[in-house]
Chain A
Amino acid sequence: MIAATAPTGVLAASYARDRIALIAFWLLLVLLFAALAAPWLAPQNPYDLAQLDILDAKLAPGTQSSAGLTYWLGTDDQGRDMLSAILYGLRISVGVGIASTALALALGLTAGMIAARAGGWIDGLIMRIVDLQLSFPAILVALILLALTGQGIDRIILALVVVQWAYYARTVRAAALVELRKEYVEAAVCMGVSEARILLSHVLPNVLPPVMVVATVQIAQAIALEATLSFLGLGLPITEPSLGLLIANGYAHLLSGKYWISFFPGLALLATIVAINLVGDRLRDLLNPRLG
């Protein structure tokens, strides 16, 4: 273990000592780059109907199109290049995962800090809500929320925030309670430092790093959950297909042996989740072995 305040160079060097974690890190960088640069990397815009040719539907991987374009990963039932669809899908999946985790972290952090500082009935109320929520599996809560609110990228982010915030609130509250009892807080109070300042510039920096590491792994969970919900037809609408929706789209063709429509998006999803998990686990081992 090394301290959270160690210089970045030291951290990088000890991170690189685990070869699998290092490979995962590069894989993650490549995937993130692919997600960001999808519009420039993709051979075609998979949602521009003018670029699609229905005669090219359900072609096997490696087939050449009439226009001379090679479909390395095949095409789907609309004649869409799977590689392009996966790049765009990855962009949506990763975007939803990061956005929802960041929002949930912000909300959980606020709720947890308020609960820890306020105590009394406010603390009790917030923690009862957290207990209630955590006693139900995330997928069930998210499913019901989406059934109520309907589809859409904003709705799925909302659902993912709702299922994740409670976890951060509980972790942050526990960590903040420990910090608030420490002597440096007492010292700051004696010096007449304002309440808000103590929370923001003394307690927060100490609470944040371990929670951020947990959040890294949570991004993978959020991506998997979004894919699952989209697969069930409750997540993203067909106009914004994430990896989960691409997989669902290929499900019907899987039974007739056209595996590539489901298989390759699934592989991309799997690579993303595994890479994030491995990087997150390594960071947690290095920075914060207690939370394991």
Chain B
Amino acid sequence: MTYVLRRLAWSLATLLVMSLLVFAGVYAIGNPVDLLINPQADQAEIARATALLGLDRPLWEQYWRFFRGALGGDLGISFAASVPAITLILERMPATLELALTAMLIAVTLGIPLGLLAGLRPRSWLARSIMALSTVGFALPTFWVGLMLIMVFSVQLGWLPTTGRGTTVDVFGIPLSMFTVDGLRHLLLPATTLALFKLALLIRLTRAGTQDAMLQDYVRYARAKGLSESAVVRSHVLPNILIPIVTVAGLELGSLIAFAIVTETVFAWPGMGKLLIDSINVLDRPVIVAYLLATVCLFILINLLVDLLYAVLDPRVKSGTT
């Protein structure tokens, strides 16, 4: 319990420090007024716009106003779109989460079986091909994979669309692509692109875990009991290697959300990441700050959930013997 409280305190401190850093950093760059109003505007107009946006106040006062607002869910008004920044972020968040979760699903459902195969017979040609795939998957930069997939499947073969989310269906008021055929066709390429790196990672982790587990006494004992090889893998090896894999998969979800910035830019996927790049290009500070704080909150939440899941999977954590 004290551990959970300490973790929460550290998370809150992280959030506070990040909000300070992000605010100070983002508000130190350029003057957004220059970008937003007519270059022919006179001094009075510039002053009026500056005052309207609160940019004439000292930095600490701007932060204090921002901090008080943030507690109430108000992260400022987007300079470019004139709507609350948090609204823009929340509108785009489902698209990013759908993309990241689909990518993780692809990585897990392919990575664990492939890693298991590679780990059980490390010298076979199949294992070698899987490991070669994993090495290439590690080396390929995400954006290049996306471009090549577009080149082959959209331009050359004409099978799949290149941009956007396609037709979405509202599920509890949240638009999702994964329940329509058109949406799935749009989702497939970006999700595969994003999944590839994590797939390579999960293959390596599962393979290493499997090789390690096969040498343990409990595997030898299970074999001595006369269990079939598949039963040994299913009920002894798999549960043991799943613990670290689930932890890593969970923690990597955060980095998937970050890397979605790249994938969303390549495929014009209307998520938070594309919004961030667009906002950086026009120096839309409230949106940049809102994106960063939303991402930090997501990371903290993900880390907490992973820890809870870890406790469920590994009984030793709950009983406090480790």
Contact = CB atoms under 8 A, between A and B. Distances in A.
Contacts, number: 99
B82 interface: no
Interface string B134-172: 011011111110011011001100000010000000000
Given A139-B259, A147-B29, A273-B139, A247 B14 contact: no
Interface string B259-302: 10110011000000000110011000000100010011001000
A232 B141 contact: no
A251 to B, nearest CB: 6
A277 B135 contact: yes
B190 to A, nearest CB: 15
Contact of A136 (B143, B261, B299): B299
B22 A232 contact: no
Interface string A231-263: 111100000000010010001001101010011
A277 B143 contact: no
Decide if the interface of chain A is mainly helix, strand, loop or mixed.
helix
Interface in B155-195: 155, 162
Given A140-B295, A144-B22, A273 B141 contact: yes
Contacts of A227: 141, 143-144
Contacts of B136: 274
B17 A274 contact: no
- With most chain A CB atoms within 10 A of its CB, the pick from B17, B138, B296 is B138
Interface string B32-49: 000000000000000000
Interface string A267-280: 00110011001100
A147 B280 contact: yes
A255 B25 CA distance: 37
Interface in A216-234: 220, 224, 227-228, 231-234
A259 B151 contact: yes
A132 interface: yes
Contact of B259 (A137, A144, A234): A137
A263 B151 contact: yes
B139 A270 contact: yes
Contacts of A262: 147, 151
Nearest to B132: A20
Contacts of B142: 228
A255 B258 CA distance: 26
Given A148-B25, A220-B139, A274-B139, A137 B258 contact: yes
Nearest to A224: B141
B261 A139 contact: yes
B154 to A, nearest CB: 8
A106 interface: no
Contacts of A273: 139-141
Interface residues of B, number: 41
Contacts of A266: 144, 147-148
A232 B281 CA distance: 10
Contacts of A233: 277, 281
A254 B266 CA distance: 12
Contacts of A135: 14, 299, 303
Nearest to A139: B258
Contacts of A234: 280
A137 B28 contact: no
A126 interface: no
B31 interface: no
Contacts of A132: 14, 17
A247 B140 CA distance: 14
Interface in A145-171: 147-148, 150
B280 A247 contact: no
Contacts of A224: 139, 141
Contacts of A231: 143, 262, 265
A243 to B, nearest CB: 10
A279 to B, nearest CB: 12
A274 B262 CA distance: 21
A255 B141 contact: no
A41 interface: no
A143 interface: yes
19 contacts: A132-B17, A137-B258, A139-B255, A140-B261, A148-B25, A220-B139, A227-B143, A233-B277, A244-B143, A247-B144, A254-B151, A262-B151, A263-B148, A263-B151, A266-B147, A266-B148, A273-B139, A273-B141, A274-B136
Interface of B: 14, 17, 22, 25-26, 28-29, 135-136, 138-144, 147-148, 150-151, 154-155, 162, 254-255, 258-259, 261-262, 265-266, 276-277, 280-281, 288, 292, 295-296, 299, 303
Q: Which 8 A-B pairs have the closest CB atoms?
A: A137-B258, A137-B255, A140-B258, A147-B280, A273-B139, A274-B139, A266-B144, A224-B141
Interface of A: 132, 135-137, 139-140, 143-144, 147-148, 150, 220, 224, 227-228, 231-234, 244, 247, 251, 254-255, 257, 259, 262-263, 266, 269-270, 273-274, 277-278
